[in-house]
Amino acid sequence: MQAVIPYEPYYKIQSSLLEAILKDQPLPDELKVAAYPDTAGEIRTLLPKMGARILAQESSPFGEVFTVQG
């Protein structure tokens, strides 16, 4: 092991999306949001409260994936 660093959620954001956010550019019409298995219910509740409309939900080996429109 070379290093142990704190988990930073923004490491999981696609670099082009992070760049658009940091430059205050428009975001894509649809985004895919992955939720850890034990947080899918919470994410399903929080997304609409944040102004995102859930268009679809699918399972992946890593948890639930929501397609959202903001």
Predicted local distance difference test score (pLDDT) of residue 46: 93
Per-residue pLDDT tens listing for the chain (70 residues): 787 776 666 567 777 888 888 898 888 899 898 888 889 999 999 999 998 999 999 998 888 999 999 7
Q: Where are the beta strands (DSSP E) in the chain?
A: 30-35, 53-60, 63-69
- Rounded to whole angstroms, the Cα distance separating 46 from 66 reads 12
Sketch the domain layout of the chain as residue ranges.
27-70
Give me the half-sphere count of Cα atoms (radius 13 Å) on the Cβ side of residue 57.
12
Give me the half-sphere count of Cα atoms (radius 13 Å) on the Cβ side of residue 37.
3
